Amino acid sequence: MSTTIARPASDEASPAFQRYIAEVPDQNIGDRLLDQVREIEHLFETVTDHDALARYAEGKWSIKEVLGHLNDSERIFSYRLLRIARGDATPLPGFEQDDYIPAGRFDDRPLPMLLTEFRAIRMSTIALVEGVPADAWERWGEASGSPVTARALAYIMVGHVAHHVLVLRERYGLGARKPPLEEAVFI
């Protein structure tokens, strides 16, 4: 997939989302979306279901909860993208990510199921992005009380996953040669 989308201007998303947009290295959104599927699968290659219950500190999300959060967020962001790209000007509500975690009961689900879900959701996102007409990327809508463009949402999705991959690498030690879970908290 080689869908390229012009980088959004700084006013095309709220300041809270600018850090995710900044994580995207280039305009090849299609390539980045697909690359992240492989990156997530590679990152989790050696993680066991038990290891995925680890938290890097008390009160922090488990590895499974981070993955569940990625799945929930991707669904919400892609829904926002669909609505805005189709010209729906209805304001879209925000969501409280910390409320979704206990409700999702991600620690009760097998890790392979969460990974399969990520792949399925992301492939659906890729199909959506491939089908957005060129002029629709500049459409504006409102999400979480702030104006946002369709193209900003595409960048936000890529940047959001990039952000959490970095957290999984740095805080949880995923992708390291030696399992980092020696100091992990299991509850």
Q: What is the pLDDT of residue 183?
A: 56
- Please check whether residue 3 lies inside any domain of the structure: no
- Please check whether residue 162 lies inside any domain of the structure: yes
Give the DSSP letter of residue 48: -
- Please check whether residue 11 lies inside any domain of the structure: no
Which has the closest alpha carbon to 74: 157, 17, 13? 157
* Whether 31 contacts 2, CB under 8 Å: yes
Long-range contacts of 25-30 (CB under 8 A, 24+ apart): 28/2, 28/3, 28/4, 29/3, 29/4, 29/5, 29/129, 29/154, 29/155, 29/158, 30/1, 30/2, 30/3, 30/4, 30/126, 30/129, 30/130
Q: What is the pLDDT of residue 2?
A: 72
CATH number of domain containing 83: 1.20.120.450
Residues paired with residue 140 on neighbouring β-strands, in sequence order: 149
84 torsion bin: left (phi>0), alpha (psi -120 to 50), beta (else): alpha
Mean model confidence pLDDT for the chain: 94
Read off the pLDDT band of 186 (50, 70, 90).
low
Read off the pLDDT band of 178 (50, 70, 90).
very low
Q: Give CA–CA dist 14/40, Å, rounded.
A: 27
pLDDT in tens, 8-27: 999 999 999 999 999 999 99
Q: What is the pLDDT of residue 145?
A: 96
**Domain count of the chain?**
1
- Please check whether residue 16 lies inside any domain of the structure: no
pLDDT > 70? residue 80: yes
Residues paired with residue 143 on neighbouring β-strands, in sequence order: 92, 146
- Please check whether residue 67 lies inside any domain of the structure: yes
- Please check whether residue 1 lies inside any domain of the structure: no
Instruction: Determine the structural domain holding residue 173 and report its residue range.
Output: 21-183
% of the chain exceeding 90 in pLDDT:
92
- Please check whether residue 4 lies inside any domain of the structure: no
pLDDT in tens, 111-169: 999 999 999 999 999 999 999 999 999 999 999 999 999 999 999 999 999 999 999 99
- Please check whether residue 9 lies inside any domain of the structure: no
Output the CA–CA distances (angstroms, integers) from residue 91 to 87, 139, 148, 166, in the order listed: 12, 13, 10, 31
pLDDT > 70? residue 184: no
pLDDT > 90? residue 90: yes
Output the CA–CA distances (angstroms, integers) from residue 181 to 49, 57, 163, 169, in the order listed: 13, 11, 20, 12
pLDDT > 90? residue 182: no
Q: What is the pLDDT of residue 86?
A: 98
* Whether 142 contacts 148, CB under 8 Å: yes
